[in-house]
Amino acid sequence: MLVDYDEDQESEADTLAATLLLPRIALVAILSSGMSIESAALKFGVTTELMQMRLNTTGTLIQFRRRTA
């Protein structure tokens, strides 16, 4: 049993996991293909919340919208 819980390490681990599951290149491919966030989340086996969070935190969604505007 883990006695000493470090919130900072847990947060870093969550961020790393999200990055490994949804690298930026995959996010660009998702947006370029026109796939919905829901479909992409299902395809990658993640929640729509995680998909949306990665699109927002990487800036990929904003960059894609600017490029296609």
Look at residue 45 in the predicted model and tell me its pLDDT. 97
Pick from 60, 7, 65, 18: which is nearest to 41 by CA?
Answer: 18
Q: Are the C-beta atoms of 54 and 18 separated by less than 8 Å?
A: yes
pLDDT tens-digit readout, 11-23: 999 999 999 999 9
Q: What is the pLDDT of residues 23-60, one digit of tens each?
A: 999 999 999 999 999 999 999 999 999 999 999 999 99
What are the boundaries of each domain within the chain? 23-68
